[in-house]
Structure 1
Amino acid sequence: FLNRFVHMFLMYENFVIMPDQDRESWLSSRESMVNFDKASFLSDQPQRHRPFLSRFLETQMFATLVDNRIMANWGDYDANLQVFEHRIKAVRRRLGEGGLATRG
């Protein structure tokens, strides 16, 4: 299960929109902010994954992933995010640049 998500979200952090304000300002306004470029992310995905991903990107689970990625920039690193990103890095190393360009 985790492996499937790792492969689908190998490059997700490229689409996270990092805030330009401090942590407290972001926390107080994050519900009204766009923190992830969903359209660009989806257009970069294989067609067969898009139906699932378009729905999944609207879930609380995904919002939490993006929030945790942003919070990590302020040193608040979630343990589950660490595991997920460690797996992403391992898959990237295994696939190499060529594998990332041709996956899907």
Structure 2
Amino acid sequence: MNTVNITFQFEDGQPEQTHVAAEGESVLDVALNNDIQLQHNCGGVCGCSTCHVYVVKGEEHLPEISDKEEDFIDRAVNPRINSRLGCQCVVQAATQELVIRIPPQNFLGH
């Protein structure tokens, strides 16, 4: 089974962390399994925008963004061109490395 390093960077100034993810795991799964605070009001089913992250490196190895995900990203706080939902960023066989920036988590979310 393919594994990949995911480096988490934090906009609130925390030191970055790198964790190993297995194929089929989402960025949200890896964050939660490693005590990284990433909100997920809908439980990780692409039903809100609270697990919004920025993909700094490796986006080309993630599943293509769906219309549903894009609609929720439009509702996120400060969306950017590299915005994704952590629950939809699933490690694929071709994934080599991901760098994910987590925005501040001090909001209520949608």
Q: Considering the TM-score relative to the shorter chain, is it more than 0.5?
A: no
Relative to its length, the structure with more helix (as a share) is 1
Structure-2-length-normalised TM-score: 0.24
Relative to its length, the structure with more strand (as a share) is 2
